[in-house]
Structure 1
């Protein structure tokens, strides 16, 4: 059975393997042992509740319960942009009109902004390629919303997600080459590494101070603004199904879109219900998305379940996978 569980320091080797598989431009999953180890340590502290709620960063692992093999990762960051700015480009429309020439033009432009302070971010979603298309990505993605729904007070009223931007067949980012590299004068990999390995001050130091007119950008770069990486199209579809919409913000390095949704309108959060657990026979029951009812020791899985008044009946194997016992609280959302 596939189970989503909290990550911890013991997952470093597995997480590094996933980082290598994720490929170029997956900024939230860098191939850096120190960064990944720090993130796993923070995940352990976050689930234990030993860090301030706004500083929590919950990393989740997708595991095959029978073998212990880690096959995916996802994350929920309680609040971004508080200890360091979270910069984006906002796509704005600048209107220009001349009464003398009787001419009006609307220009699109990119403006550096820091609008996301305090928002909760869901991200780092990556599933081993051999599991794609069988529902594993959906389970892992929606487990993040089950986590949020378990204790909403820990999270912001606005939830955001940043998607990897478009890369060409030769693995280059047209947006980086046509826009951002003009200001940062660094190889993409170095700038990408510095985002997670430094305090991010270099972003503000070197960022453009004035609007960038899209019409002055080369065609390949302008076409990449807000375009999702080919490997991120399924993730975007899952986000849109949850209720996320494009915000008009794009990543400052690869031009990938930022989508947002109100926390309490997330489809998985809205449909979630809490029950008392009953263990029994559910052979004829429909599958449902299940999770524990608290952030501490959080676990999630998709398995058959049957509501019986205030109780939810699941099979013994499912209870074992979730590490729950008869009478414990359990949450269920639509499959």
Structure 2
């Protein structure tokens, strides 16, 4: 059985392995030991309720209990842009006209903004490539919304997700090469690491202050604006099924799209039900997403569930994996 559980400091080696596998441009999983260790400690404190709600950072691990192997990671940040700016480029249309020539031109441009300050963020979704089957990615992705649904007041009214931008097969990033690098003038990997491991002051110092007309860019750079990485298409599709939509915002470095949704409109948050556990036979009912109803003891699985009024009838195995007993509450999201 697969289970999503809180990350622990002891998961460092597994998390670093996932960071290495994630490749270039996966900013939220840097190959940096201090950053990853700090993230695990912050997550443990967040699940324990030792961190103020806006500063909480919940990291989730997907574990295969058949061999106790960690095969994926995801995260939820309760608030972004509060202690450091959360910059993006907004894609805008600038209209120019000449009555003398009786002509009008619409120019697409990129403008630096900090519009998502205070939003919550779901991200860091990554699975080992050989395990991307059988619903593992869906379980991991939806577990973030089950977490939010337990105590929505811990999270912002709006939730965003950033998708990795477009990279060519040879590993080059057209947007970085033709746009962002002109302002930051350091290698992409260095900028990516600094973005994940520092307070972001260098972005505030060096990011462009004036509109960038995309018509001046090479074709491959223009085409990459708002385009997600080939390995991010499945993640984008899952976000859209939950109700997330492209916000017209893109990442400063790789121009990957920012998706957003109102917290209470996210499908899994909205449709999740709080039910009381009743133990039954080993396997019956339709498979559903089930999580604990306590953030401090958070776990999520997919398992057969028979919903009987306000009761969720679970097998003893599923209840044991979740760490719940008869009469305790769980959250259930039917398929």
Residue 42 of structure 2: aligned partner: 42
- 1:88-167 matches, within 5 Å, as 88-167=88-167
Residue 185 of structure 1: aligned partner: 185
Alignment check: 8 A CA contact 2:178 2:221 kept: yes
- 1:156-305 matches, within 5 Å, as 156-281=156-281, 283-305=283-305
Residue 325 of structure 1: aligned partner: 325
Residue 80 of structure 1: aligned partner: 80
Q: Secondary structure at the match of 1:97?
A: strand
Q: Secondary structure at the match of 1:81?
A: coil
Residue 30 of structure 2: aligned partner: 30
Residue 308 of structure 1 and its aligned partner are, at CA, apart by 1.2
Residue 282 of structure 1 and its aligned partner are, at CA, apart by 5.5
Alpha-carbon distance in structure 1 between the residues aligned to 2:330 and 2:198: 40
Number of residue equivalences: 335
Alpha-carbon distance in structure 2 between the residues aligned to 1:209 and 1:330: 49
Alpha-carbon distance in structure 2 between the residues aligned to 1:197 and 1:110: 26
Residue 134 of structure 1 and its aligned partner are, at CA, apart by 1.6
1:294-325 deviations in Å (ceiling 9; x for gaps): 21110000000001122110100000110111
Q: After the TM superposition, list the runs of 4 or more consecutive aligned residues in structure 1 that deviate by more than 6 angstroms.
A: none
Alpha-carbon distance in structure 1 between the residues aligned to 2:253 and 2:282: 49
RMSD: 0.7
Alpha-carbon distance in structure 1 between the residues aligned to 2:204 and 2:79: 20
Alpha-carbon distance in structure 1 between the residues aligned to 2:2 and 2:25: 27
Residue 65 of structure 1 and its aligned partner are, at CA, apart by 1.9
Q: TM-score scaled to structure 2, two decimals?
A: 0.99
Alignment check: 8 A CA contact 2:282 2:317 kept: no
Alignment check: 8 A CA contact 1:276 1:327 kept: yes
Q: Secondary structure at the match of 2:247?
A: strand
1:49-68 deviations in Å (ceiling 9; x for gaps): 00110000000000012322
Alpha-carbon distance in structure 2 between the residues aligned to 1:166 and 1:211: 22
Alpha-carbon distance in structure 2 between the residues aligned to 1:313 and 1:334: 13
Q: TM-score scaled to structure 1, two decimals?
A: 0.99
Alignment check: 8 A CA contact 1:268 1:334 kept: no
Residue 334 of structure 1: aligned partner: 334
Alpha-carbon distance in structure 1 between the residues aligned to 2:257 and 2:74: 18
1:76-116 deviations in Å (ceiling 9; x for gaps): 00000000000000000000011111110000000000011
Structure 1 unmatched runs, 5+: none
1:162-209 deviations in Å (ceiling 9; x for gaps): 000000010111100011001111100010011022111110111111
Residue 158 of structure 1 and its aligned partner are, at CA, apart by 0.2
